[in-house]
Amino acid sequence: MKRIITFLITFITITISAQTLQFNKSVTIEVTSNEGDKVPFEYFFSTNQKDLSCMKVDPSTMEDSGEAAGEIYMVFSKKQNIVYMNMMGMKMKKSIGKTDMMQYNNYDKIDTANITQTGKTKRVLGYLCYEYLAKTKEATTHVWATTASFPITGTFIPILGMRNESKVIKGFVLEIVLKSKNGNGRVAVTEINKNAKLVINTSEYKSMGF
C-alpha cells in the first residue's frame, strides 16, 4: 500500500509540474533603440529551473495585435520556446520560430570567439560588474556581468545573450551596449523583484500551429 501511495504522489507531482509553470523572481529589462526609444520588459525566473525563463510582452507591441488588452508570455527553455496568449477571453499557445525570436535574442550580437575581459569595472544597480568586449568589422559589443551574489539564478536568458553557464562570460549579464555601422543599441537590467509571482497553467491553453 505504501508503494502505491508513493507512486500516486510522484505521478501527481510530475503531472502538475508538467502543466504548471511557476516563477518567483523577476527583473525589468529596458531595451533602447538607435533612435533612443525605450521599451521595458519584465522577465520572470524559476528558482527550481535555471534554464527556464519567461518574458511578459505588452500585447500592443506585437504585430497585428493593435491595442488589444490581454496577457502575452514568452517562455524560453533549452528545448523549445512557446508563447502563451490570453486575449479576448481566449487562451492560446504556439511555438516561437527563430525569426520571431530575433528581436528578443542577443546571442548573435556577442561573438564569444572574439571576446575578452578588459579589466574595467562599474556598478549596475549596486552590483560590481566586469566588462567584456567583443569586436568584429561591423560592430563592437560591451557586455557588463556580475559575479556577485545575485538574487536571480537563471542562466538561459536570450535577451541578455545568456546561454546557460557561459565559459567566456562569467556571472549574470546586467548590461549590453552595441555600437555598429548600422546603429547603436542598449539592453540593461533596470529593476529587480525578489518577490515576483507568476503561475502559468499550460493545460488551459489551446495549441496553435503545433
Instruction: Name which residue leads in pLDDT, 126 or 101.
Output: 126
In a domain, 7, yes or no: no
* Backbone phi, psi, residue 50, to 5°: -70, -25
Residue that is written with C-alpha cell 501527481 in the block = 12
Output the nine-digit C-alpha cell for 128: 560590481
pLDDT score of 23:
94
- CA distances from residue 13 to 9, 20, 22, 142, 199 in whole angstroms, order as listed: 6, 10, 13, 43, 16
Lowest mean pLDDT across 86-90, 106-110, 118-122, 158-162 = 106-110
Q: 138 and 79 in one domain? A: no
3 state SS for 152-186 = CCCCEEHHHCEECCCCCCCCEEEEEEEEECCEEEE
pLDDT band, residue 12 (cuts 50/70/90): very low
Q: 152 and 100 in one domain? A: no
In a domain, 134, yes or no: yes
Judge whether 146 and 117 are in contact, CB under 8 Å.
no
CA neighbor of 200 nearest in space, from 48, 17, 78, 27: 17
In a domain, 12, yes or no: no
In a domain, 95, yes or no: yes
In a domain, 45, yes or no: yes
Q: 131 and 87 in one domain? A: no
Q: 99 and 137 in one domain? A: no
Q: 57 and 125 in one domain? A: no
Q: What is the mean pLDDT of residues 180-198?
A: 92
CA neighbor of 157 nearest in space, from 193, 97, 105, 98: 105
In a domain, 198, yes or no: yes
Q: 198 and 97 in one domain? A: yes
Q: 120 and 96 in one domain? A: no
pLDDT digits (tens, 9 = 90+) for 113-151: 678 899 999 999 999 999 999 888 888 899 999 998 899
**What CA–CA distance (Å, rounded) separates 203 from 201?**
6
Output the nine-digit C-alpha cell for 82: 512557446
Q: What is the mean pLDDT of residues 61-88?
A: 77
Q: 142 and 200 in one domain? A: no
3 state SS for 81-93 = EEEEEEECCEEEE
In a domain, 148, yes or no: yes
pLDDT at 8 over 60: no
pLDDT score of 79:
80
Q: 128 and 96 in one domain? A: no
pLDDT score of 88:
82
In a domain, 157, yes or no: yes
Q: 144 and 45 in one domain? A: no
Instruction: Name which residue leads in pLDDT, 96 or 191.
Output: 191
Full residue range of the structural domain in which residue 86 is found: 21-104+194-207
Q: 82 and 67 in one domain? A: yes
Number of Cβ within 10 Å of residue 38's Cβ equals 12
**What CA–CA distance (Å, rounded) separates 7 from 112?**
45
- CA distances from residue 184 to 23, 52, 78, 91, 107 in whole angstroms, order as listed: 32, 29, 29, 37, 16
Q: 117 and 70 in one domain? A: no
Report the number of distinct structural domains present in the chain. Answer: 2
Q: What is the mean pLDDT of residues 139-166?
A: 86
